[in-house]
Structure 1
Amino acid sequence: MKKSLIALAFGTLGLGIAEFVMMGILPDVAKDLNISIPAAGHFISAYALGVCAGAPILTLARKYPLKHVLLVLVALIMFGNICAAMAPNYWVLLAARFISGLPHGAYFGVGSIVAEKLADKGRGSEAVSIMVAGMTIANLFGVPLGTSLSAMISWRVTFLLVGIWGLVILYYIWRWVPHVEGLKDTGFKGQFRFLKTPAPWLILGATALGNGGVFCWYSYINPLLTNVSGFSAASITPLMILAGFGMVIGNLVSGRLSDRYTPGRVGTVSQALICVVLLLIFFLSPYKWLSVLLMCICTAGLFAVSSPEQILIIRVAKGGELLGAASVQIAFNFGNAIGAYVGGLAISEGYRYPALTGVPLAFGGFILFFIFYKKYQTKYQSHT
């Protein structure tokens, strides 16, 4: 495995902890800042808004070497998380979370392009999946570690850890990532020209709907496992580690299969699997170990579509690769927000119903992926 790809994965590991750990430490933050849990939830939204605001900034960085852009983004990751660790009140932490989110989509965008350029011939999707692997490992180890540190010491230590990790990312990107040939400058307007064709909208729509379907269920996984499946509250942490393990496996297997069978086919099949599994979760979640098995399969499916989406958007966004690659993260976060909201509406019917509500969204993602595969996959078979 190339050291350069590991360095890129270090970055997505830090981003993964910064994004997802807030869900686990929310009560600690709320108590320390003397605010309500719903008010603390704004820190999750602030990060997501930062992701959406930060991605288009890449249009201004199109003339700079990609390695230099990566280093600046990592510095911003460090700054945002250190500010979060030192935040004295609600408003400062809200601003720090927004700043922390700014480099997220941009890093994924630049990192994906660099990963594909550094990949061996015919292994572009696998290279991107290695970069994305940092995000899955964050869910497997980083988020549980951050949650534990928050409970044992302080939630501030968790954000400080991410800030310090930024130094490691900076060093290894500087050492291990070689100079990569920049992209052709198509001008400011040229960055957006790819959006005039249907193909990128199909991928972005599939990303938003597909992730929305999963997050209808996953946003409320804790009460489902405890109130329906019958697990104790103490079991949730090890169960979340199992869910993270599913993400790791799904991502890495998908990357390898995408190079063999095309990203469009792997993404379509994975999205179809998610639809079926969400439906099975609704019916079978009262059975403990079936519930756990289905949870792992569904989280594997969630990241099995990530690498295909990331690699495909680069291929269809000719002239606007940076913006396109970052836009997938906007669609991902938009889907998360919609899924959490729609799933919350369904909870009044019972904790199984968010999974059922997610099925139509996930099916919509499957339809868009299927249309892309049938109409455009051959045209965008390889990056040109």
Structure 2
Amino acid sequence: MTSDLLQRVAPVAARPRLVPAVGVLAAVLVLAAGASLLVGSRPLPVSDVWNSLRGNGEPAVDAVVRGLRVPRTVLAVVVGAALGLAGALTQALTRNPLADPGLVGVNAGASLGVVVAMAYLGVRSPAGYVWCGVLGAVVVGAVVLGLTSRVRSLEPVTTLVLTGSVVSALLGAATTVVLLLHEDSLRSFQFWSAGTLAARDLGVLTGIAPVLVLGVLAAAVTAPALSSLELGDDLAAALGRRVRRDRAVGLAAVVLLAAAATAAAGTLGFLGLLAPHLARFLAAARPVATLALSALTGAVLLTVADVAGRVLLSSSELPVGIVLAVLGAPVFVALARRLDR
């Protein structure tokens, strides 16, 4: 009986909104992806882009469309979906609506991995340093989760936030030291750390694909437990959930998803925070549906922000990380003020 009651937690009246929300987001994503193929430093006619996609384009057009814009668009969709899913998991597992995947230290770990690759291995191409970024983020995420599991005097969520903050500060200092000793790597690192999808090819996606797959699988394993975990650890345990295991698997999914996304595109702040809130605004739904909707929302937000970064300035292009920061900062303040009431 209790299980049946829990299945009815989501508002019945809000469930019909899920299908229209998915339809609207899918349509916006298709339009944004189309704009991503058309818009840039060299605007292209629709006919030229279509011919290039079919394999009948001119070499110069193919170099732009298939060589640059198609990989960039695919990466925007994949990275945005990964961060949206990671953000929804983070907020559900920590029961904190202002939580972000950066809590587990993956941003700092990826930054250190990338700067080490640039400074000591001489790697400058995104397809080369993405491996080091993924490795650094995953290792640091594992360390944070391992340290969190050993501390029993505080609540797991509090321990996670404190441990992630301390480790991130330590690794941030280490990254700064490496950059001071190797100033030749500074410019390349700044370009990556600003958050960008430019100059990426499909080799970057190939590099993060195994980590993304593992992250999605871990998220799928965790999803059935979220309804119980949202009720609190004590009640979830009373309902038969193995709370520590469920949270550990869920946070591992966050680490893997955020690690892959950050290594590929740099630091993209606020996306993991905004996507779940927009998903819940469009359609209040059960946690599993919210995860899927957050992934779709993240893909839309990143693709739209990337296109906006190309057209906001007439003389140059804004990195997508800066666009997200400009949009996300005031929304974060508004959310914090609303939750404080």
TM-score where L is the length of structure 1 = 0.37
TM-score where L is the length of structure 2 = 0.41
For the pair shown, the structure with the greater C-alpha radius of gyration is 2
Higher relative contact order (CA 8 A, sep 6+): 2
